[in-house]
């Protein structure tokens, strides 16, 4: 009986993991590309080993540089306005009002005193920090419900950064 319970538990865990992977793959394949401008961060924490600490201008505009005790839900959605290059700017907190053609929602989570969209760091292969030093934008894939994935970093001219950019 114990083996049956362990086997069923393992199958349920694998099914859950596979469902999550499928959702992320679908988001990568069909999510809208949204570019978020990076905001300055403490230079000492910018490059920490094999990752870059990130903060986004839209988050600073929405929340101020720090949360500072204001009553803001720890999870929610922001409405962003896209320009002709798909660079997003904060417009308002989502209140259920229908979106215009150039608006998109993105889910945020506040952890500690900083909001984040999907992540607050970009991880890269050891020794590749120089490829990302000129990052000015984070490229996200965003679903209609606001879920998002950080997929790349771009420079001030919106060129993709990384080892592939040298080819």
pLDDT of res. 162:
83
- Residue 40: what pLDDT? 65
Q: What is the pLDDT of residue 102?
A: 94
Task: Please give the radius of gyration of the chain, using alpha carbons only, rounded to the nearest integer.
Answer: 18
The pLDDT of residue 131? 83
Cβ atoms 89, 112 nearer than 8 A: no
- 53-67, 77-91, 132-146: range with lowest mean pLDDT: 53-67
Q: Quick one: which H or E segment has residue 9?
A: helix 2-30
Q: Which residues pair with 152 in a beta bridge?
A: 139
Whole-number pLDDT of residue 79: 94
- In the sheet that holds 103-111, the strands lie side by side as 114-116, 103-111, 75-82, 87-93, 32-37, 137-142, 148-154
How high is the pLDDT of residue 67? 53
Sign (positive or negative) of CA dihedral 161, 133, 58, 121: positive
Q: What is the pLDDT of residue 83?
A: 94
Q: What are 116-160's pLDDT values in tens digits?
A: 888 888 888 777 778 888 889 999 999 989 999 999 999 999 999
Both tokens of 72, joined, read 């803001």
Query: What is the per-residue pLDDT across 14-55, written as a single tens digit (0 to 9) for each?
Result: 888 888 787 777 877 777 889 999 886 654 455 556 778 888
Distance of alpha carbon 149 from alpha carbon 60, whole angstroms: 19
What pLDDT, on a 0 to 100 scale, did the predictor assign at position 165? 56
What pLDDT, on a 0 to 100 scale, did the predictor assign at position 136? 92
């Amino acid at each position: 009986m114990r083996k049956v319970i362990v086997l069923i538990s393992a199958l349920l865990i694998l099914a859950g993991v596979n469902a999550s992977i499928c959702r992320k793959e679908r988001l990568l394949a069909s999510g809208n590309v949204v570019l978020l401008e990076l905001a300055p961060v403490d230079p000492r924490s910018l490059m920490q080993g094999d990752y870059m600490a990130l903060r986004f201008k839209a988050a600073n505009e929405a929340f101020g540089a720090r949360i500072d005790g204001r009553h803001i839900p720890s999870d929610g959605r922001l409405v962003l306005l896209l320009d002709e290059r798909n660079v997003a700017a904060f417009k308002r907190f989502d209140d259920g009002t229908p979106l215009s053609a150039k608006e998109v929602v993105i889910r945020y989570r506040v952890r500690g005193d900083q909001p984040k969209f999907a992540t607050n760091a970009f991880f890269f292969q050891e020794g590749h920090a120089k490829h990302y030093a000129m990052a000015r934008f984070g490229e996200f894939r965003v679903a209609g419900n606001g879920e998002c994935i950080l997929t790349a970093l771009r420079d001030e001219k919106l060129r993709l950064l990384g080892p592939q950019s040298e080819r």
